[in-house]
Amino acid sequence: MNNTNISIIPAPKKMRLTKGFFALDSNSRIRNNRVLDTSANQFRKFLKEMTGIAVSRKSSSAGIGNIIKLELSSSDGDINRESYELKITPSAIFIKAPAAAGIFYGIQTLMQIIMSCPASAASCVNLPCLEIEDAPRFEWRGFMLDSSRHFQDIATIKKLIDALAFYKINRLHWHFIDGQSWRFKSEKYPGLADFISGISTEKGCYTVKQMRDVVQYAAERHIVVYPELEMPGHSRAALTIKPQLKCHGISDNAVVNEYCLGRAATAKFHKEIIREIATIFPAPYIHLGGDEASDANWKSCKYCKAAMIKNGLENTALLQKDFMKKMAEYVHSMDKISIAWADKLALGIPAGQIVQGWSDNDNGNESYNAAVKGFKTINSYHRGVYFDYPQNADEDKYQWMIDLPIEKVYAFDPVPAGLSPEQEKLVLGSEACLWTELVPQEKVFRKVFPRLLAFAEIVWSEKSKLNFEDFSKRSAIHCGIFTKSGYN
Ligand code: ACM
Ligand code: ZN
């Protein structure tokens, strides 16, 4: 095979080709510590499917040649749990890492090398000898999936998780509550996932069991799934089912997007939902939404006005801030970290909250402003990473969407310009966001590919490694592979 075909995305930190080939065949064996069995078995399944080669576990009595060795290295001091080393020699392949996550990423890299090497008629794949040392630039390499506007079934979500894992994405932010539907079949409030015509785009919800299944499936691929409970806006679906949480004087039939913040029942309801969701998602994070809430009803509602007077809040913006702060403190009281969209940053952010920037509110990039204020931030700036925006001219779009071809994603730097080195450290990374108003399930992968590859590279690879021309060559090979594997 031709070494120039090696196409690894995201580009590794260091790669050096050495002499010779490792011949992968049915006599090859995997040797691993039992704690790495999940990854080893995934790799075995991949090999069987991609190359037809069945490799088994190495018994300790067998010889030392023709092995793929997965090895945890000693992990003292300040280690990066996602780093790994991959070495291919003529007699063995070594993947070494301080933690299981790094082993998993080493395997993804090896899988990509195998995919770029055609199998020979003799059921053997010749892998070029090389040495790779790799580690991510950012700890937060996320993907946000909106399952409210359009529903995705569990099989589609798992297929998405497979793709995310293959590109070393490590967070799935699951947005399953919004104005159009509430898709969490809460055991405490099962009726919220009922559907009333005129609200939902289509039926569908996730049971507790299904959510746990997604969490487990993702965990086996080193992806943390964390939930978003959208509040106090984008809440039309919930308020259609629970009109008693609307502001005073609003009829049950009126379309309302915001909860009443003056009613004690609103906070009680949200605390119950937070408590329940925390039992389903072991992730250390809960996202509380917080974006795009209108204060129109709060201004005239007698409950909201009474709450403002009682708590000395001068305006509705402070009423919202006070409510969001209470919810954040509730999340923190469960030893979890709250995250919220950056809207209304200028009013103050609850201590310890992670700010997800997406826009230019408050006179500038929100993640920039959050970092300047000393808060950790995820930079999902819409002009860089909103995957609902069209990548091709023939796609449906709303008038406020810009075109977002792959070049623009590749050119996006999650670290906003102008931060000090200390402030830059507060930028945890980025999340690509797939809002689905215009994206039914069958279009999900058309939106995701090929931009996910560019996104994966900007959140993993060192800035000095980024080169769009080189990336384009590698991504063309990957796209061919993905089309063959049944992704659209
Ligand atoms: C958002 O796009 N409203 C977070
Ligand atoms: Zn109210």
Residue 433 CA: nearest ligand 1 atom is 2
* Rounded distance from Cα 5 to ligand 1 centre (Å): 39
Among 435, 437, 438, name the best residue to mutate to test ligand 1's pocket (greatest count of ligand atoms within 8 A of Cβ). Answer: 435
Among 146, 292, 366, name the best residue to mutate to test ligand 1's pocket (greatest count of ligand atoms within 8 A of Cβ). Answer: 292
Beta-ladder partners of 338: 286
* Rounded distance from Cα 234 to ligand 1 centre (Å): 10
What DSSP string runs through 331-349? HHHTT-EEEEE-TTGGG--
User: Which element (helix H / strand E) includes 308?
Assistant: helix 302-310
* Rounded distance from Cα 352 to ligand 2 centre (Å): 28
Q: Which residue lies with its CA nearest to atom 3 of ligand 1?
A: 291
The residue to which tokens 């970290």 are assigned: 337
Q: Which amino acid is at 376?
A: K
The residue to which tokens 């009013």 are assigned: 347
Q: How many CA atoms lie within 13 A of 20 on its CB side?
A: 11
Q: For the chain, what are the domain ranges?
A: 14-134, 140-484
pLDDT per position as a tens digit, 431-468: 999 999 999 999 999 999 999 999 999 999 999 999 99
In this structure, which topology does domain 14-134 adopt according to CATH?
Chitobiase; domain 2 (3.30.379)
User: Which element (helix H / strand E) includes 55?
Assistant: none
Residue spans of alpha helices (H) in 52-124 = 100-115
Q: Has residue 59 got a pLDDT over 80? A: no
Q: Has residue 201 got a pLDDT over 90? A: no
pLDDT per position as a tens digit, 150-191: 999 999 999 999 999 999 999 999 999 999 999 999 999 999
* Rounded distance from Cα 178 to ligand 2 centre (Å): 19
Among 146, 341, 345, name the best residue to mutate to test ligand 1's pocket (greatest count of ligand atoms within 8 A of Cβ). Answer: 341
Q: Has residue 2 got a pLDDT over 50? A: no
Region 78-100: mean pLDDT is 95
* Rounded distance from Cα 262 to ligand 2 centre (Å): 5
Q: Which two tokens stand for residue 311?
A: 């708590």
Q: Which amino acid is at 79?
A: I
* Rounded distance from Cα 243 to ligand 2 centre (Å): 12
Cα gap 282→291, rounded to integer Å: 24
Cα gap 171→46, rounded to integer Å: 22
Residue 435 CA: nearest ligand 1 atom is 2
Strands 177-178 and 181-182: antiparallel
User: Which element (helix H / strand E) includes 68?
Assistant: strand 67-72
60 band by pLDDT with thresholds 50, 70 and 90: low
* Interacting residues of 462 by C-beta distance below 8 A, sequence separation 6+: 13, 137
More confident residue, 206 or 198: 206
Q: Which numbered ligand comes closest to the C-alpha of 263?
A: 2
* Rounded distance from Cα 287 to ligand 1 centre (Å): 13
Cβ 237 vs Cβ 200: under 8 Å: yes
Residue 341 CA: nearest ligand 1 atom is 4
Among 145, 149, 359, name the best residue to mutate to test ligand 1's pocket (greatest count of ligand atoms within 8 A of Cβ). Answer: 359
Lowest mean pLDDT among 217-221, 248-252, 434-438: 248-252
More confident residue, 98 or 400: 98
Q: Which amino acid is at 322?
A: D
For the 140-484 domain, the top CATH level (class) is alpha beta
Cα gap 275→271, rounded to integer Å: 6
Q: Which residues surround ligand 2, an ion (CB under 5 A)?
A: 247, 260, 262, 301, 303-304
User: Which element (helix H / strand E) includes 378?
Assistant: strand 377-379
Q: What is the pTM of this model?
A: 0.96
64 band by pLDDT with thresholds 50, 70 and 90: confident
Region 410-427: mean pLDDT is 98
Burial of 277 (0-12, 13-18, 19+ CB in 10 A): buried
Return phi, psi of residue 368, to 5°.
-60, -50
Cβ 408 vs Cβ 393: under 8 Å: no
Pocket of ligand 1 (CB under 6 A): 291-292, 341, 358
* Rounded distance from Cα 427 to ligand 1 centre (Å): 19
What value does the mean pLDDT of the chain take? 93
Cα gap 167→165, rounded to integer Å: 5
Angle at 295 between CA 386 and CA 226, to 5 degrees: 40
Residue 292 CA: nearest ligand 1 atom is 3
3-state helix, strand, coil in the chain (%, to 5): 40, 20, 40
* Rounded distance from Cα 289 to ligand 2 centre (Å): 19
DSSP letter (8 states) at residue 59: P
63 band by pLDDT with thresholds 50, 70 and 90: low
Q: Which numbered ligand comes closest to the C-alpha of 296?
A: 2
Q: Which residue lies with its CA nearest to atom 2 of ligand 1?
A: 358
Q: Which numbered ligand comes closest to the C-alpha of 261?
A: 2
Residue 386 CA: nearest ligand 1 atom is 2
* Rounded distance from Cα 89 to ligand 1 centre (Å): 48
| Closest to 105 in 3D by CA, of 83, 120, 87, 131 | 83
1 band by pLDDT with thresholds 50, 70 and 90: very low
